[in-house]
Amino acid sequence: MIRPILRYGAEALHCPAVGVGALNDTVQTLIDDMIDTMYAAAGVGLAAPQVGVGLRLFVADPSSGRDGSQLRVVINPELVEADGAQREEEGCLSLPGFTGHVPRSARVVATGLDREGSSVRIEGEGLLARVLQHEMDHLDGGLFVDRLSGIRRDLIIRRVRKLQRTGKW
Question: Is residue 77 within 8 Å of 48, Cβ to Cβ?
Answer: no
Q: In whole angstroms, what is the distance from residue 84 CA to residue 31 CA?
A: 31
Query: Does the annotation count 116 as an active-site position?
Result: no
Q: Which of 88, 90, 116, 135 is catalytic?
A: 135
**97 conformational bin, left if phi > 0, alpha if psi -120 to 50, beta if neither:** left
| 5 CB-contact burial (10 Å; exposed 0-12 / middle 13-18 / buried 19+) | buried
Point out the residues that are catalytic. Answer: 135
